[in-house]
A and B are shown apart, each in its own frame.
Chain A
């Protein structure tokens, strides 16, 4: 087996393990976590009947989605209606490709010395790739809203487009100040740059802006205007049923995972564990601990997403726009100016 074939196989294994196994399992855990944590916050019990403590509830939910009758209303634009769930799910699964979830190990496989990076693709445009692909996700919502041919769906789609375009700007500005400190768009370099001090200490304002914008970009409360139940019935997915309905939620949870992983990578040191080097552990143990650290940090922010959702009420639409354009955008610009001034001194 040649080295090229081996590298292709390693890349495929990474894609399958990370995108299809790790992310889908995390999606399932998130569904259960959301229901149980919301129940805890609202002083209820939550689903606890299927399996011990309700562990098998997500499987029951998934089975229900698969077996439900699929209703395609007559008044929809059929082609776009069927296309929308695919448009929204594909970018959600693509964005995780450049997030580093560990360092790298060099080992012998089938007689070849290969370096396995714990990252699917190490692009030199890293963070820009995520911004570009994530901005494609909004098409799924708008196309779904338009194709449903329903005024509530359309309103949800239009709201989501305005919201995502507005909050991409402060998000980009927060990313720019991090990139200015690092001098590289490559996410692995951004992690390595934080070995001395995490960016949350060096760039606290950028971290806050980024986290707020991440909530808006993933359409989560307090910014879930596109699917505000009280006003819009259900928003852009009102007319969808069974697995197509589920794929909108799958995309939302997948985007949440990527957003949490990005918050960790940009501001909380990625897979870096402070003082781990001084412990002089074997290389393999060190790598495993680093990957676990990345998983735990990401898990905390996933919990944070759920925690915020069930604690804060929803914004009104004008408040949402005011926060984005009149508060976050000037703060982001100010942060860039301050960062540049400090770096020039």
Chain B
């Protein structure tokens, strides 16, 4: 009972946040709405007893959106962004029916594929089971991902440093 109410609260917040992300003119509000959405999704993960996934969800995205937030503050001129008229003002006449059709299709497919609610499995989202899966069954993809991340970091440092050198010369 309580879980059902909480599910609808979190689901509502997630949808509200998602709509605000695209609907708000101010990019700061969009970034904050994104946090709201991700936080609500983490709440739904907790309801499904996947504590580890919920916490990692918050930890990863909170840091990532913080960086996005800083980019918005430093790189965009928010006053101009806010006042800019919508570029696609008349598109809404076409877009609204399209959205209805798209979501109708998505809903039919999703309800056909997942006609039953996901089962609460107490052991799937726990620290032990994820650790076991990562270091036994999925150990190769896991290690390859870490290499990929290091390559991306090295690439970022190289690109930033190269530009610094040309400025000096």
A residues neighboring B (CB under 8 Å): 77, 80, 123-125, 128-129, 131-133, 135-136, 138-139, 142-143, 146, 154, 158, 161, 165, 168, 185
Complex contact B73–A146 (CB within 8 A) = yes
Complex contact B55–A128 (CB within 8 A) = yes
Complex contact B35–A139 (CB within 8 A) = yes
Contact of B73 among A125, A154, A168 (CB under 8 A): A154
How far does the Cβ of A12 sit from chain B's closest Cβ, in whole Å?
Answer: 14
Chain A residues with CB below 8 A from B67, complex form: 165
Complex contact A125–B63 (CB within 8 A) = no
**Given A146-B73, A165-B66, does the pair A135, B28 have CB atoms closer than 8 Å?**
no
Complex contact B58–A125 (CB within 8 A) = no
Chain B residues with CB below 8 A from A136, complex form: 35, 58, 62
Complex contact A125–B55 (CB within 8 A) = yes
Contact of B51 among A80, A123, A146, A168 (CB under 8 A): A123
Q: Is the interface of A mostly helix, strand, loop or mixed?
A: helix
Contact of A128 among B29, B59, B70 (CB under 8 A): B59
B126 contacts A by Cβ under 8 Å? yes
Complex contact B127–A135 (CB within 8 A) = no
Per-residue A-contact encoding for B47-75, CB less than 8 Å = 1, 0 else: 00001100110110011001101100110
**Given A142-B69, A165-B63, does the pair A132, B126 have CB atoms closer than 8 Å?**
no
Chain A residues with CB below 8 A from B55, complex form: 125, 128-129, 132
Q: Report the bound CA distance from A158 to B70 in whole Å.
A: 8
Contact of A80 among B28, B59, B126, B127 (CB under 8 A): B28
How far does the Cβ of A213 sit from chain B's closest Cβ, in whole Å?
Answer: 15
Q: Report the bound CA distance from A136 to B35 in whole Å.
A: 10
Closest 4 CB pairs of A and B: A132-B59, A132-B58, A135-B62, A128-B55
Complex contact A161–B63 (CB within 8 A) = no
How far does the Cβ of A75 sit from chain B's closest Cβ, in whole Å?
Answer: 12
Chain A residues with CB below 8 A from B58, complex form: 132-133, 135-136
Q: Report the bound CA distance from A56 to B58 in whole Å.
A: 40
Complex contact A135–B69 (CB within 8 A) = no
